[in-house]
């Protein structure tokens, strides 16, 4: 999942970004509402964590503009603890949830996951294809009866591929989803990451699931 963090306090933003990355999210940060709007109108994000008090365009103004433009990206607002009116206004404008400051990272992640579940309509935490299963809650991966240990980055990569099993995911899409930045055609970090994942996920098994789609990227699929 690719998340945009909009927070003008740089230390707070860095802590949120680190916490998201540690839990397998791809997180990008900006520090004002105008930059947030440019990013949200030019790139794709799965969710936004946005402070209300921002320089330039504030969080409520940015939220209002998003909803006027029919952008339905889930938005979790960060608010001052005593500002009830702001919280009410934010929900009326189309915010999916709010979290008063100061907050714990555990609660932030729990609220973010709840928002994503409500918006996608997906209540199940397990994705599966062939004999491969991916538990998004426990972060457990299995092929058949074998449990496979993955790093947080490998898990995020597999989750990206498992969103659309049988369909190619481009290197650009993988880069944005897993690392949170634009793909540099002069590097091969996506290919290296896929090779490492294959060693754990495919090499010990006769049926190979991660396939290269020439000219595009990679897909989780089986060949007859």
Residue-wise pLDDT for 51-72, tens only, equals 999 998 999 999 999 999 989 8
* Domain 126-220 coded CATH 1.10.10.10: yes
Mean residue pLDDT across the chain: 86
pLDDT tier, 83 (very low <50, low <70, confident <90, very high otherwise): low
Locate the domains of the chain by residue range: 2-120, 126-220
Best CA proximity match to 166, nearest among 83, 212, 222 = 222
Is pLDDT of 185 > 70? no
Question: Residue range 117-144: average pLDDT?
Answer: 76
Tokens of 20: 């998201």
**What's the Cα-to-Cα distance from 139 to each of 142, 149, 156, 174, 197, rounded to whole Å?**
10, 9, 10, 19, 15
- State yes or no: cis peptide before 178, omega within 30 of 0: no
End-to-end CA distance of the chain: 31
User: Which whole number is the average pLDDT over 108-117?
Assistant: 86
Q: CA nearest 99: which of 138, 47, 136?
A: 47
Cα–Cα distance measured from residue 73 to residue 83, given in angstroms and rounded to the nearest whole number: 24
Q: Return the CATH architecture of domain 2-120.
A: 3-Layer(aba) Sandwich (3.40)
């Amino acid at each position: 999942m690719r998340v945009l963090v909009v927070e003008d306090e740089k230390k707070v933003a860095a802590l949120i970004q680190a916490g998201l990355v540690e839990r397998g999210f791809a997180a990008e940060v900006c520090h004002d509402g105008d930059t947030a709007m440019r990013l949200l109108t030019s790139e794709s994000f799965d969710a936004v964590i946005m402070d209300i008090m921002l320089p330039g365009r504030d969080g409520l103004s940015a939220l209002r503009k998003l909803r006027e433009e029919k952008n339905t990206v889930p938005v979790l607002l960060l608010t001052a603890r005593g500002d009830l009116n702001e919280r009410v206004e934010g929900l009326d404008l189309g915010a999916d949830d709010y979290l008063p400051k100061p907050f714990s990272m555990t609660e932030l992640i729990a609220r973010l996951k709840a928002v994503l579940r409500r918006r996608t309509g997906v209540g199940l935490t397990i994705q599966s294809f062939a004999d491969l299963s991916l538990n998004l809650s426990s972060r457990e991966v299995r092929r058949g009866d074998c449990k496979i240990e993955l790093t947080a980055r490998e898990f995020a990569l597999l989750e990206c591929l498992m969103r659309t099993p049988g369909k190619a995911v481009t290197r650009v899409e993988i880069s944005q989803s897993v690392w949170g930045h634009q793909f540099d055609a002069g590097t091969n970090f996506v290919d290296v990451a896929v090779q490492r994942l294959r060693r754990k996920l495919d090499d010990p098994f006769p049926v190979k699931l991660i396939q290269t789609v020439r000219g595009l990227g990679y897909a989780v699929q089986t060949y007859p």
